[in-house]
Amino acid sequence: MGVDIKRCQEKGKIILLSIGGATAQLNSDAGTFSKQIWDLFMEGSSEFRPFDDAIIDGIDLDFEQQSQFDTIQFANNMNNYFKSGTRKYYLTAAPQCPYPDANLGNLLAQSHVDMAFIQFYNSGWCDNSKYGLPHWPETSVDNTDVQRQVDERVDELMQSLALTGDSKSQISLYFTETKPRRAWFSKSEEEICWEEWIIHINCTVSKSPTEVGQLQASAEDQAKRAIFWVIQEMDKHKDHIPLIASKQSNPFPYHISVAPTSGLWSSMIKRAIPARAPK
């Protein structure tokens, strides 16, 4: 197992040890257990190491039952161990989707967690199998022109973040209506926004070249899926669309813009592109 772990890490994979489960109950105190985890699987020292000299990249907490185990103290202890280490470690959690999670809510509110893997299954009202959320990973649009423009705007987003060093940004997808503008001696048209969706982007600071590539690929994928989801939802629900008041072939153009929300205003990038409404 240790050889396999190191081989995966060489290929840029992050290896986490998941603790907990649907029925798990821990009887150890947080101090003792955190020390055991550090010694057995990370940079601590122990005569017995399940993965030999392989060192995992972090811990994932998946507690789905109420317990006397102090998860907050355990998380704080692990974060302190991570700071003393010579490599990057991750502390993650897997809460169920109803918020706040009954068993991990306090942990997420009071301790530092690098990532949260939300469980959209076996979770009551927000269960994937009941409410269609499994369709999210498959989100796309059957329109090459829209696909190309989304790719271009996501590339612009990644470039702007790399150049400005902003920690936050946003993608705006808005729909406009073309209406005539009346004046005394001339006629013109104006575009009035009647619906806007804003996708807020929060960046994670990477600490290694491998992590940079992983986070960038993940960010690009999430941004594209979010835009496609908005377009799909707009195409499903059309009852609120304004009456057509223009003779143009495209009375409802849409626009995609990218704009950082922090950093210097002089470095702000915001380019809107008029395009055909998705079909």
Residues 178-236 have pLDDT tens digits of: 777 766 666 677 777 777 788 877 766 655 665 566 667 667 777 777 787 777 776 67
DSSP state of 150: H
User: Is residue 44 helix, strand or coil?
Assistant: coil
Paired tokens of 47: 């005569």
Q: What single letter denotes the amino acid at residue 233? A: E
Q: Based on the residue annotation, tell me whether 64 is a catalytic residue of this protein.
A: yes
Paired tokens of 26: 């821990």
Residue 79 has pLDDT above 50, yes or no: yes
100 preceded by a cis bond (ω within 30 of 0) = yes
What pLDDT, on a 0 to 100 scale, did the predictor assign at position 163? 75
Contact 118/95 with Cβ under 8 angstroms?
Answer: yes
pLDDT, one tens digit per residue, over 136-154 is 444 556 677 777 888 888 8
pTM: 0.49
Active-site entry in 10, 43, 47, 64: 64
What residue has token string 């603790």? 19
Q: Which of 36-40, 219-223, 263-267 has the lowest mean pLDDT?
A: 263-267
pLDDT-derived band at 57 (thresholds 50, 70, 90) equals very high
Residue 255 has pLDDT above 50, yes or no: yes
Paired tokens of 240: 């609120």
